[in-house]
């Protein structure tokens, strides 16, 4: 079957894990309808029983400590190795929440934050929009020892972000809440922010550009990710229309990370 998202390949092997034996006929029918709607040939379906495994534990074991700029991300089973590194440690265990540092969009956000800090940017308040595991807020809080707010539409992700703040010893600096983006009460109460980081998708980033501007302090910086390179111009245009100025762009394969500043005076 054709894959419509990175990495783009003519053919791909796609796996899905079910908690119970699926209905083979129903599944094959659904796949055939989906393939036909995109003008594709129905994929070959193979169903087999897997051994009982703790999949989260297996995923955690398969990923050793991951250095990213001034940070090193590791799971609990690799804590000693992570703590022995000279970088700032972030313990992020494999969970259902997005954000372990493996994906280029997360890694790009951290690289961009590191660059800003090295160039004299000293934010005292930060918003992690769509926080997932809370990795971006954690990195900021552990480095700057300043206040971070995380918000996510997924209740489970918020619970994981809160747990990660305790595990990493920054619960006093980090608050996370379930809510609809900038409409969340906690987000409004803590605004404006010196730094906003949003690793989501291009569409929501464009739609929320006006709200981002209104929640960003003059001279504040926004780091935006989750953007395919061919979508970057659209995201840049949406934020330039709000008076934000692009200060840096990173490209990691098919992904782009953008950093904007809100000028103290309109340009």
The answer to whether residues 35 and 14 touch, using CB atoms and an 8 Å cutoff, is no
Q: What are 175-215's pLDDT values in tens digits?
A: 999 999 999 999 999 999 999 999 999 999 999 999 999 99
| Three-state DSSP class for residue 39 | coil
Give residue-wise pLDDT tens across range 5-50: 455 556 777 777 777 888 888 888 888 888 888 788 888 888 888 7
Given this model, what pLDDT does residue 41 score? 83
In the CATH hierarchy, which fold is given to the domain comprising 98-261?
A: Rossmann fold (3.40.50)
Crossing angle for the helix pair 155-167 and 135-144, to the nearest 10 degrees: 30
Please state whether beta strands 255-261 and 245-252 pair in parallel, antiparallel, or not at all (unpaired). antiparallel
* Alpha-carbon 89 to chain mean position: 18
User: Which residues, 6 or more positions from 9, have their beta carbon under 8 angstroms from its beta carbon?
Assistant: 3
Higher confidence at residue 169 or residue 266? 169
Is residue 3 very low, low, confident or very high in pLDDT (cuts 50, 70, 90)? very low
pTM: 0.80
Sequence ranges of the domains in the chain = 1-50, 98-261
């Amino acid at each position: 079957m054709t894959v419509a998202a990175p990495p783009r390949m003519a053919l791909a092997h796609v796996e899905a894990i079910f908690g119970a034996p699926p209905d083979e006929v129903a599944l094959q029918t659904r796949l055939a309808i989906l393939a036909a709607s995109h003008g594709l040939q129905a994929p070959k379906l193979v169903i087999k029983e897997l051994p009982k495994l703790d999949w989260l534990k297996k995923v955690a074991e398969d990923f050793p400590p991951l250095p990213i700029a001034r940070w090193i991300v590791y799971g609990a089973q690799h804590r000693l190795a992570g703590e022995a590194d000279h970088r700032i440690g972030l313990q992020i265990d494999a969970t259902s929440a997005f954000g372990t540092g493996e994906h280029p969009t997360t890694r790009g956000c951290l690289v961009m934050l590191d660059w800003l800090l090295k160039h004299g940017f000293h934010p005292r308040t930060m918003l992690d929009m769509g926080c997932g595991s809370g990795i971006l807020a954690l990195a900021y809080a552990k480095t700057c020892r300043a206040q971070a707010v995380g918000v996510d539409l997924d209740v489970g992700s918020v619970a994981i972000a809160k747990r990660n703040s305790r595990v990493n010893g920054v619960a006093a600096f980090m608050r996370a809440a379930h809510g609809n983006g900038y409409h969340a009460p906690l987000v409004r109460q803590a605004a404006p922010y010196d730094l906003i980081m949003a690793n989501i998708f291009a569409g929501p980033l464009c739609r929320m550009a006006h709200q981002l501007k209104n929640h960003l302090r003059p001279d504040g910086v926004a780091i935006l990710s989750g953007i395919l390179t061919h979508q970057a111009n659209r995201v840049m245009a949406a934020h330039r229309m709000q008076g934000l100025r692009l200060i840096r762009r990173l490209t990691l394969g098919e992904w782009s990370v953008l950093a904007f500043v809100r000028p103290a005076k309109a340009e």
